[in-house]
Amino acid sequence: MVYHSSFVDEEGISRACGCPLLPLKSHIKGPAPVSDQDKVDIVDEAISFFRANVFFRNFDVQSSADKLLIYLTFYINVALKQLEGCRTLAVGTKAIINLGLEDVPIPGETGFPFPGLFVLPQSRNEAELLRNYLKQIREETSGRLLNCAYRPNGMPNKWWLAFAKRKFMNIIVPEAAAPQVRKTGYYNSRR
């Protein structure tokens, strides 16, 4: 059974393109509201559920937070693919920083991995709000993922990096982890 997000109460949460702008425990500047450091946020959920959810070919969406969880699960898969050949934390950090510097595609643009997951932006402001939120959440996810993918001594954690070979929802991540992907899986949205 696929793990779903616990963020189903969306009262007071703003949205961009149907994506909930959930609070983050982050020091990175961006549009995300700040969450308490002792609370679990969507990035914590994505990382903790990743190794179970990556095995699924289908994902039954039960809330809009599940859509963000799908996006983050795919991003973690891309990040692990980047880290796969990095034998030290220093090299892995450089690879993740380079991944963070890439342009973040949004719905309607080439390279967005899940067309139809989020609605198309209705204005330039909404498009930039979503792009900035996705950039912020990707950077935050990358930083936390490094703590999982590498041991305290800086050596790779094979129990995490082995998942770079997995295909989430049968989406093949190219070797260079380029934004263009071949889609073969699907998701089912109830909303």
Tokens for 146?
């490094």
Output the pLDDT for position 168. Answer: 64
Place of tokens 């709000």: 129
Output the pLDDT for position 100. Answer: 81
Output the pLDDT for position 115. Answer: 84
Counting DSSP H helices and E strands in the chain, the numbers are: 5, 4
The predicted model scores a pTM of: 0.85
Look up residue 145 and give its DSSP letter: H
Nearest to 137 by CA among 66, 36, 54, 68: 68
Output the pLDDT for position 170. Answer: 54
Q: In a 10 Å sphere around its CB, with 0-12 CB exposed, 13-18 middle and 19+ buried, how is residue 143 labelled? A: middle
Intervals of the chain under pLDDT 50? 176-187, 191
CB of 45 closer than 8 Å to CB of 22:
no
Output the pLDDT for position 171. Answer: 62
Output the pLDDT for position 179. Answer: 40
Strands (E), the chain: 15-16, 19-20, 58-61, 186-189
Output the pLDDT for position 4. Answer: 82
Output the pLDDT for position 172. Answer: 55
CB of 35 closer than 8 Å to CB of 148:
no
Output the pLDDT for position 185. Answer: 46
Domains of the chain: residue spans and CATH = 15-189 (1.10.1760.10)
Nearest to 171 by CA among 78, 99, 63, 80: 78
